[in-house]
Amino acid sequence: AAASSGGLVAYADSGSDAAVEKPQLPQRKKVVVLGTGWGGTTFLRNLDTRLYDVQVISPRNYFAFTPLLPSVTSGTVEPRSIVEPIRRVLEKKGEEIKFWEAECFKIDPQNKKIHCRSNLGTNLDGNGEFLVDYDYLVVAVGARVNTFNTPGVVENCHFLKEVEDAQKIRRSVMDCFERASLPFLDEEERRKNLHFVVVGGGPTGVEFAASLHDFVTEDLSKLYPSIQHLVKISLIEAADHILTMFDKRITNFAEDKFGRDGIDVKTGYKVVKVSKDAITMQNPGTGDISVPYGMAVWSTGIGTRPFIVEFMKQIGQGNRRVLATDEWLRVRECDGVYAIGDCATINQRRVMEDISEIFRVADKDKSGTLTVKEIQDVLDDISMRYPQLQLYLKSKQMNGIADLVRSAKGDAEKESVELNIEEFKKALSLVDSQVKFLPATAQVASQQGQYLARCFNKMKDAEEHPEGPIRIRGEGRHRFRPFRYRHLGQFAPLGGEQTAAQLPGDWISIGHSSQWLWYSVYATKQISWRTRMLVVSDWTRRFIFGRDSSC
């Protein structure tokens, strides 16, 4: 153990004026945050760091604004413009927060310690390993890319997950153009080098294909006039459509636009192998086909990091694919451990699991039946605990619980109906079909980071009053309301200054106006004025001079 907790405490308390000003906080609990991405950084920015002894561990000492990564691949935005050093974020908090550039490789929940490793230096044992104690651990380590064990992908494809990935892709695109220009290649070889393949028709793959297309047609075609007609972009998707998480109108528009742009959208094809020179894909109708390519980007989804898989095995979640938390973002059966963002998923409790308890609590007069009023009295509590109930009522266009009761009894009945337990079960039997899994997005990760920070800010108060203010009938009192996601909408940039936007309430907008909305939203969402300035000036430079093609 290189870093014992004793040493850490001594460091935290060493003669700062802040400690003198706040004598009421001598024994601050240790909060350890793993990860400086969307979840971890938002948590830190919202945490009242005076209340805790905070330590941050991440193999990257910066936050990256991932939604602009596709723009980095084409040089529309510079890499520097989308990263913010984490030490700068921490410095703004005005407290002494420790950061270590290292990765956690093991969580030990029994002893409340994590094992970390830095590759920047070695300790006396000759490795870069050290132990860190925690009282509270916030796991925000994101996900890894998922190759589905397809042979050759790791060796031959690019990923688009980190800033370095985007830079490598950009260099690789330029190399393909320069290689295709060499004097000794025949036309077939030139074509191969200029065949760009994107695997995965989700938002990232689609946006990358669109931005590559813009880069090629708007900038590179002028610089490489003799070979520009040989360029081909293919987008391969195993499902029947691209952008399946969006509204059908957006999917159709995107497929049509890509068709007009000459992007070859191959839906229903599954990539089964990638070699240095060719990509092999499969379609039930055609069998295997192999196509030569110059550069390939793999963007088919995410998976769980290996050390999280190990952690899940330790805590009895070995049969799951993703680390589960409850609705308060606590990892179950694991005191003091929280998980947010792409590395975790909320296991929403089902109404049907608790139906008897709900009935018992709602039946105040112990009559063995529920009146509409009795149900209404507990409706707010039920809706807070089980958000699927409101979604269900909405999906059935029911105005309230009275409708539900009536539908369970048959329409002819009057206001005075009462439900027995069997009828109550029947009325709510389909509610759990509306349980929604949250998408792996920055929006979710940052809302979770913000929610968790607010809980932490009030934790002391909550500990002094263990009977929390939030009463959930049948479950007793909780300190905090469960996390509730607020979907603010989603963009799908499609190239040519056109973006599709799907906003709450199924509001769809496609075209140039949503592109401007996109610019303004992403400028606003920047985490510092510095990156905001840089991004906006990159966009301006692009409008005036086009994209830079040197690399």
Burial (0-12, 13-18, 19+ Cβ within 10 Å), 177: buried
- x/- mask, Mg ion, residues 350-379, rule CB under 5 A, reads -------------x-x-x------------
Contact pick of 204, 211, 304, 515 for ligand FAD (by CB under 6 A)? 204
In the complex, minimum distance from the CB of residue 269 to ligand FAD, in angstroms, rounded to a whole number = 22
Q: Which residues, 6+ apart, have CB-to-CB distance to 420 below 8 Å?
A: 368, 369
Contacted entry of ligand FAD, Mg ion, none for residue 67, CB cut-off 5 to 8 Å set by kind: ligand FAD
Query: What residues between 95 and 134 interact with ligand FAD by CB under 6 A?
Result: 103-104
Q: Say if residues 368 and 166 touch (Cβ distance below 8 Å).
A: no
Measured from the Cβ of residue 107, the count of other Cβ atoms closer than 10 Å reads 24
User: For residues 337 and 471, what is the distance between their CA atoms, to the nearest angstrom?
Assistant: 23
Residue 363 interacts, among ligand FAD, Mg ion, none and using kind-specific CB cut-offs from 5 to 8 Å, with: Mg ion
Burial of 31 (0-12, 13-18, 19+ CB in 10 A): buried
Residue 140 binds Mg ion (CB under 5 A): yes
CB-wise, 204 or 325, nearer to ligand FAD?
204
Of 440, 447, 532, 506, the closest CA to residue 204 belongs to 440
The residue sitting closest to ligand FAD, measured at its beta carbon, is 37
50 burial class (0-12, 13-18, 19+ CB within 10 angstroms)? middle
Least distance to ligand FAD from the beta carbon of 500, Å? 12
User: In the stretch 29-68, what mask flags binding to ligand FAD with x, by CB under 6 A?
Assistant: -----xxxxxxx----------------xxxx-----xx-
Q: Determine, following the binding rule CB under 6 A, whether residue 70 of this chain makes contact with ligand FAD.
A: yes
341 binds ligand FAD (CB under 6 A): yes
Token code pair at residue 468: 């929390």
Q: Which of ligand FAD, Mg ion, none does 443 bind, CB closer than 5 to 8 A by kind?
A: ligand FAD
- Closest CA relative to residue 452, chosen from 27, 103, 35: 35
Subset of 293-312 contacting ligand FAD (CB under 6 A): 305, 307
Q: Which of 445, 472, 500, 510 binds ligand FAD (CB under 6 A)?
A: 445
Which C-beta is closer to Mg ion: that of 251 or that of 388?
388
Task: Give the nearest distance from C-beta 116 to ligand FAD in angstroms.
Answer: 7
Tokens for 97? 């927060």
Q: Which amino acid is at 57?
A: I
Residue 204: other Cβ atoms inside 10 A: 21
- Tokens 């590395």, residue located: 343
CB 206 within 8 A of CB 243: yes
Place of tokens 């290189």: 2
User: Which residues pair with residue 282 across a beta bridge?
Assistant: 270, 288
Q: Rule CB under 5 A: say whether 37 interacts with Mg ion.
A: yes
To the nearest 10°, report the CA torsion of 59, 60, 66, 69.
-110
Tell me how far, at minimum, the Cβ of 387 lies from Mg ion, in Å.
16
Q: Which of 71, 317, 348, 441 binds ligand FAD (CB under 6 A)?
A: 441
Contact residue for ligand FAD among 137, 140, 173, 370 (CB under 6 A): 140
Q: Out of 32, 39, 210, 378, which residue is the one contacting Mg ion (CB under 5 A)?
A: 39
Q: Enumerate the β-bridge partners of residue 198.
A: 235, 297
Nearer to ligand FAD, 101 or 363 (CB): 101
Size of the site for ligand FAD (CB under 6 A): 33
What is the distance between the alpha carbons of residues 418 and 416, in angstroms, rounded to a whole number? 7
**162/377 with CB nearer ligand FAD:** 162
Interface with ligand FAD, residue 160, by CB under 6 A: yes
**And the tokens for 432?**
């759990």
Strands 103-108 and 295-298: unpaired
Q: In the complex, what is the shortest distance from the CB of residue 189 to ligand FAD, in angstroms, rounded to a whole number? A: 30
φ, ψ (nearest 5 deg) of residue 161: -130, -40
Give the nearer residue to ligand FAD in terms of CB position, either 40 or 109.
40
Q: Which residues bind ligand FAD (CB under 6 A)?
A: 34-40, 57-60, 66-67, 69-70, 103-104, 140-142, 160-161, 204, 305, 307, 341-343, 440-443, 445
Q: Which residues bind Mg ion (CB under 5 A)?
A: 35, 37-40, 64, 66, 140, 345, 363, 365, 367
